[in-house]
């Protein structure tokens, strides 16, 4: 049985004091241990951003991708090695901005990965520029007169493309976030966790007190059913836009097969466990002779 010490490394995080990444970091490790995963059972794929350093700060199989390509790389990793749990950890700029196209298609395909997006509503690593989830009127280095665009609604976007697990947590509530990660890792297909994250340097208006005032848990609402798609969409549309932010499992269904379940190449098991089939050397030489 793995312990928290099994995930420990000597490298210490370099996040700003008060950053929500510390809570996400600890929630991930605790979720892995509670769910019974050893470090070798997990492959963490990240992009570019403050939180994308997550894999450097724990003993785990990790892979940094290009900015915005986290989900694309994770899809390949999952198809090659279905024997491991693949989890993406990246920010709102990486996941919803540069990677927005991959986000939509991962939800549509129902690829079996966990997509944890640290949503601090700003590009923090590159010094506080506008992100896809920045609020209108928010003053940043690239919007000195305030953001003009309306923020995207990531949960609603995911649901509109057929996502089968959609949740929201925040760095204020580690117990809830740990629960969401465990549930997402046990899900059959694509699982989105939008994590509202405090950025103590570039988005001080949305601090821990702000989240205490604005967030609520859907499971505490009498009669809420996360299996009801229409009710889930109504919750997903509440924020951004309204003043109340729903958290918890917004929608879940296990009725849709994961993408990899229908891939015939994987009937013989994970690709990494299958024998490598190569062509005779003479075939490659003929190609070289023809094209070189």
Model-level pTM?
Answer: 0.93
CATH of domain 4-264: 3.40.50.970
What is the per-residue pLDDT across 161-199, written as a single tens digit (0 to 9) for each? 999 999 999 999 999 999 999 999 999 999 999 999 999
Region for 41 from its dihedrals, namely left if φ exceeds 0, alpha if ψ lies in -120 to 50, beta otherwise: alpha
Q: Would you place residue 292 in the very low, low, confident or very high pLDDT band (cuts 50, 70, 90)?
A: confident
C-alpha distances (whole Å) from 11 to each of 2, 25, 33 are 20, 13, 20
- Check pLDDT > 90 for residue 275: no
Question: In the chain, where are the structural domains located?
Answer: 4-264
- Check pLDDT > 90 for residue 128: no
């Amino acid at each position: 049985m793995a312990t928290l010490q099994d995930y420990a490394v000597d490298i210490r995080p370099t996040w700003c004091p008060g950053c929500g990444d510390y809570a996400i970091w600890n929630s991930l490790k605790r979720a892995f241990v509670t769910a019974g995963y050893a470090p070798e059972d997990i492959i963490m794929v990240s992009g570019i951003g403050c939180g994308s350093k997550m894999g450097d700060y724990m003993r785990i199989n990790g892979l940094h991708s290009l900015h915005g390509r986290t989900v694309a790389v994770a899809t390949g990793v999952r198809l090659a090695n279905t024997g491991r749990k693949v989890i993406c950890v990246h920010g709102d700029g990486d996941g919803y901005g540069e990677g927005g196209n991959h986000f939509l298609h991962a939800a549509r395909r129902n690829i079996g990965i966990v997509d944890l997006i640290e949503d601090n509503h700003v590009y923090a690593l590159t010094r506080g520029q506008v992100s896809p989830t920045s609020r209108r009127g928010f003053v940043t280095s690239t919007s000195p007169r305030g953001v003009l665009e309306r923020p995207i609604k990531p949960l609603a976007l995911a649901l509109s493309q057929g996502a089968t697990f959609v949740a929201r947590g925040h760095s204020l509530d580690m117990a809830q976030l740990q629960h969401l990660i465990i549930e997402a890792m046990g899900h059959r297909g694509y699982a989105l966790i939008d994590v509202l994250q405090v950025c103590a340097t570039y988005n001080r208006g949305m601090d821990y007190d702000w989240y205490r005032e604005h967030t609520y848990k859907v499971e505490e609402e009498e009669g809420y059913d996360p299996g009801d798609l229409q009710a889930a969409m109504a919750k997903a549309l509440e924020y951004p836009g309204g003043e109340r932010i729903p958290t918890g499992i917004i929608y879940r269904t296990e009725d849709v097969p994961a993408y990899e379940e229908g891939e015939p190449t994987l009937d013989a098991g994970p690709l990494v466990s299958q024998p490598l089939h190569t062509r005779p050397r003479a075939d490659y030489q003929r190609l070289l002779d023809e094209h070189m």
